[in-house]
């Protein structure tokens, strides 16, 4: 019988794969360190792009229910190289987020949108309140 773990975002037991272990760990980081409320996150969120179905590991939502950040989780032995970032950027073509985070549980990198189509690495994980648009700020 396969080991499972409770996903607080999906509110059910899921198979405990190496990637799922990283996803559940990072949900805890987002909640405890970044201050993201559970109801503002969704795991395994599906969407369509170019006629294909995709699933992002975690989406963080803004208070107005627009996507704010996308998180791509990989197994610990997977290198966080350009292909992982490119995967998250592809998701961004649909989601139009301000932040992209990639993690393998050993290393985590956060990127903030710096222009219409570019992202810059941040020095630290942003707090949820810091990620929210300021009054009068327009979405890129």
pLDDT, tens digit, 9 for 90 and up, residues 33-74? 999 999 999 998 887 777 888 788 999 999 999 999 999 999
Give the pLDDT score at 137.
Answer: 55
Any residues with CB less than 8 A from the CB of 72 and at least 6 apart, and which? 56, 57, 84, 87, 88, 91, 100, 101, 102, 103
pLDDT over 70 (residue 135)? no
> Which one is predicted more confidently, 5 or 1?
5
Q: Is residue 46 part of a domain?
A: yes
What is the SS3 assignment for 62? coil
Residue from 2, 15, 24 nearest 103 by CA: 24
User: What pLDDT is stored for residue 48 in this prediction?
Assistant: 75
Q: Where in the sequence is the domain holding 22, given as residue range(s)?
A: 4-125
Q: Give domain status of residue 136, yes or no.
A: no
CATH code of the domain in which 50 resides = 3.90.1570.30
Domain count, the chain: 1
Report how far apart, in Å, the C-alpha atoms of 82 and of each of 2, 79, 92 are. 32, 9, 15
């Amino acid at each position: 019988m396969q080991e499972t773990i409770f996903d607080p975002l999906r509110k059910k037991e899921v198979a405990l794969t190496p990637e799922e272990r990283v996803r559940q760990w990072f949900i805890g980081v987002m909640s405890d360190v970044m201050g993201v409320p559970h109801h503002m996150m969704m795991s395994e969120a599906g969407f369509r792009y170019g006629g294909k179905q995709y699933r992002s590991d975690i989406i963080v939502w803004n208070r107005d229910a627009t996507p704010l950040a996308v998180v791509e989780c990989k197994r610990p032995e997977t290198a966080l190289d350009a292909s992982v970032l490119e995967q998250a950027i592809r998701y961004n073509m649909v989601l139009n987020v301000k932040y992209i985070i990639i993690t393998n549980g050993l290393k985590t990198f956060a990127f903030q949108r710096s222009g219409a189509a570019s992202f810059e690495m941040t020095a630290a994980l942003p707090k949820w309140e810091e990620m929210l648009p300021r009054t009068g700020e327009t979405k890129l």
